[in-house]
Amino acid sequence: MRAMNGVSKNRHGVYYVRKKVPKQLEQATAEILGNGKSRQVFLKRSLDTKDLREANIRAKPVLMEFDRILAQAEALTVQRPMRTTLEKREIDQITNYFFAHQLAIDDEDRREGGSEQLFQSVAQQLSAAGVEYTTEYQIGDPPKVGLSDREMQKRAETVAWTLPPAKQGLARGDYSFLQWEIDELLKVFRINLDPNSPSYRELGLAMLRAYAVDRFTELHGDLPVAQIRRPHVLQFREALQEMPLRRSGKLLAATLPELVEWSKEHAGAQKVSAETVNKLLGGVQAVCVWARNNGLIPDDVPWSDPFSKMRLATRKPRREPWAPEELRTLFSAAIFTQGDRPVAGKGEAAFWLPLTALFTPLRQLKRYTSHETGASRLRYYRVHNWGRNVGSCGPISGQDG
């Protein structure tokens, strides 16, 4: 049997597939991969097998993925004229995409569970191995429902760090701390917008506004906080439960009542999760509580939090902690045992990235793939791009080192 075009064998007998990147696409391909390189000469991936027949089978979807990447790179090279204006629908579409993406990330974390199971598992394994360590957090079983005190503290620390500049930015009309997000979204929508144009500023300010508050106002109008009662919140919650999960075309700019009417006409459409509904309820609740605490509700006006105990029941997390053999594989690498710092690992990042990822609220990956260039020297890790749903794997990397 002959190896198919692009399939080769390395000096250890393991097959890999490689495809030459056209000269004019090298820079754009590196941008698509996001690997920090200025140019990408080859696309290369190990097939993790020494069997030729299996290698030929595995190579086909990989080459298809390479073709997709090159097609994306070619699209990037198409000249886009500089624009100085955006239509309102474009600004709304980009802003809705931004918030939908942010909500989806947080939605998955709360639905699948946070990092507490992983933290407790690592602590138990260290204790079992007789390794001394100190932690300010309680060691024991993770909570059966909800987030742990440690996770809540970590989230509070994140909010305490990110919320003040967001509030200041909105008050001043300064969107500079969202500069990277704005530019990346413009790339996604393939718009070359002049950063000095009024439309760029309008887009930046739109991304600072509270998405949840906009939805509440669409349903009830611009109510004074003191007039918001539990029936308003209940109606808001019921409307949110009717929001379709996937929105495109005219639905991207639709108001909440319009989305509810659409859902009635399309009863089979999938709705947003309870976690998303709770998140939007919490967004409006935070504004109302802030208004009360900062004197916007007169002292002589009776008012209690109408959002209290209005959250929906949510599903239990399905994620599992790392297995001991997985941790042993990870930390038996030369990076940790011999102080190896491969070029592809970007120096100390090769050591600290896997280590700190175990103790942060970053999304837990289902698996990782290690790649060897010697009998026992692990040279780099390939991070898998899961997209939105855990289990859809499509790892891509450039050449080692």
Residues 141-188 pLDDT 10s: 877 766 777 877 777 777 666 666 666 666 666 777 778 888 888 877
| pLDDT tier, 387 (very low <50, low <70, confident <90, very high otherwise) | very low
Let me know the angle formed at the C-alpha of 71 by 69 and 75, rounded to the nearest 5 degrees: 115
Q: Report the pLDDT value the prediction gives residue 17, as an integer from 0 to 100.
A: 92
Q: Report pLDDT digits (tens) over 57-68.
A: 888 888 888 888
Tokens of 118: 């992983």
For residue 269, give every residue at least 6 positions away whose Cβ sits within 8 Å of its Cβ, in sequence order, or none. 244, 245, 246, 262, 263
**Do the beta carbons of residue 99 and residue 58 sit within 8 Å?**
no
Q: Report pLDDT digits (tens) over 17-26.
A: 999 999 888 8
* Higher-pLDDT residue of 316, 194: 194
Residue 382: pLDDT above 60?
no
> Could you write out the DSSP letters of every residue in 215-279?
HHHHHH-S--GGG--HHHHHHHHHHHTT-BSS--GGGGG--HHHHHHHHHH-TTSPBPPHHHHHH
Euclidean distance between CA atoms 95 and 76, whole angstroms: 22
Q: Report the pLDDT value the prediction gives residue 15, as an integer from 0 to 100.
A: 92
Q: Report the pLDDT value the prediction gives residue 163, as an integer from 0 to 100.
A: 63
Residue 370: pLDDT above 50?
no
**Do the beta carbons of residue 208 and residue 169 sit within 8 Å?**
yes
Tell me the H-state helices in 173-222: 179-188, 198-206, 211-220
Terminal Cα distance for the chain, rounded: 32
- Strand partners of residue 16: 8, 46
Average pLDDT over residues 217-238: 82
**Do the beta carbons of residue 18 and residue 42 sit within 8 Å?**
yes
Which amino acid does the sequence have at 325? E
Pick from 348, 215, 356, 377: which is nearest to 285 by CA? 215
- Strand partners of residue 380: 371
Burial (CB < 10 A; 0-12, 13-18, 19+), residue 39, is: middle
Q: Report the pLDDT value the prediction gives residue 79, as an integer from 0 to 100.
A: 67
Q: What is the mean pLDDT of the chain?
A: 76
**Domain map (residue ranges) of the chain:** 7-77, 324-382
Q: Report the pLDDT value the prediction gives residue 78, as an integer from 0 to 100.
A: 74
